[in-house]
Chain A
Amino acid sequence: MSGDSFPLNLPLPRFATDSCEATYLYRELRKPLLRYLTGLGLSADEAQDVVQDAFLSLQKHLAADGSQQDIRSWLFRVAHNGARNYQQSYTRRMGEPLDPVFDAASSAETPEQAILAEEKFHRLDKAIRLLDAQERKCLMLRAEGLRYREIGEVLGIPTSTVSDTVERAVKKLAEKCNV
């Protein structure tokens, strides 16, 4: 009897693999994407909506046998483009960048160290506000661990431009912070 049977070749294994792949990516990249979108100026709710839309797109992309290469930069690019739908807050926040809350208690052992660390933090904050939008985006994506090539794919610019932009931005920060 068993000799008469043959395995059924359905797209089911591929389907299940896609779901697992998307779930894994969601777990790994959800927070980096949220951070980046918030850095672009989106509110928490807006960032969450964009991230979820990006993963829905990923699900469709994988189901349609889309390329699985450079999936990290693919997701960042989809999220980056999705953020443009919130153009109002995007423009507003990129004009007045990140507003971090300095947590002195976590980084200093003595009150003097806390004061110095806070001064340093605010100096850096001031220097970051002097960066242009492209420089800030490059540094945010770099902070998320993306390679220059990936950053270029997300922002739609050549890798050499990313390299120049990152170099210039880091030099600016170093000069403004007197380090």
Chain B
Amino acid sequence: MCDSSGRLVAWMDRELAENEAAVVEQHVRACEQCQKLVAAYEEVSRGFAAHYTAATRSVISAETSRKWPRFVPVLAAAAAAGLLLLALLPRTVKPSPVVPQVMEVRPPITSEPQSTPVEPVRGRHVVAHRKAPNQDREMAGPAIQIAIPADSMFPPGAVPEGVSYIANLSLTDGSVQAIRLQR
């Protein structure tokens, strides 16, 4: 029995280290017995592969009968998701320009306007109260009330008895700009 006979299959399979393979190769070239063994091992190796392939041939042919392996739809779905994501996303992202923050200079607030807190109404949208356009103007400045007899302004019988009006006058530069009657 040769020293190299225990490594012939590994040598055939190119599994030996380079220096070890060189030693075995040199021996096989010189040893007729090992050459026969190598030939026999190659033959049974080919025979085993043929036997193995023949034994499993039916599975390979049956495999083609399956329409959609489960793996394929998963890949297809993954690829579709990727494409969709690619299509939805912009190709480039434009960074938003840097705008220097400029503080708006406002006059100092000397007094906060008194506002009545708005109670939220259940089941309804809460809308912030808006002041009437002329509310500020009406409230601005001292209110002057002048009592004018109705008889002097309206024809007799036009105003029911017991009803009086308050006239709000809007004054600008000492002259009356508007008169508003309030019952």
Contact = CB atoms under 8 A, between A and B. Distances in A.
B51 A101 contact: no
Interface stretch (B72-80, B114-122, B165-173, B174-182): B72-80
Interface in B33-79: 37, 40-41, 43-45, 47-60, 62-63, 66, 69-71, 74-75, 78-79
Contacts of B32: none
Contact of A147 (B6, B15, B37, B71): B15
Given A8-B91, A19-B78, A98 B55 contact: yes
Nearest to B76: A19
A100 B54 CA distance: 5
Contacts, number: 144
A75 to B, nearest CB: 12
Interface in B78-93: 78-79, 82, 85-86, 89-93
A99 interface: yes
Given A6-B93, A12-B82, A31-B63, A167 B6 contact: yes
Interface of A: 1, 4-8, 10, 12, 15-16, 19, 22-23, 26, 30-31, 34-35, 37-39, 44, 47-48, 51-52, 55-56, 59, 98-103, 120-121, 124-125, 127-128, 139-140, 142-143, 147-148, 163, 166-167, 170-171, 173-174, 177, 179
28 contacts: A4-B95, A5-B92, A5-B93, A6-B92, A8-B91, A12-B86, A19-B82, A35-B53, A35-B56, A35-B59, A37-B59, A39-B56, A44-B62, A44-B63, A47-B59, A48-B59, A52-B71, A56-B74, A59-B71, A59-B75, A98-B51, A101-B57, A124-B44, A147-B15, A148-B13, A170-B9, A177-B47, A179-B43
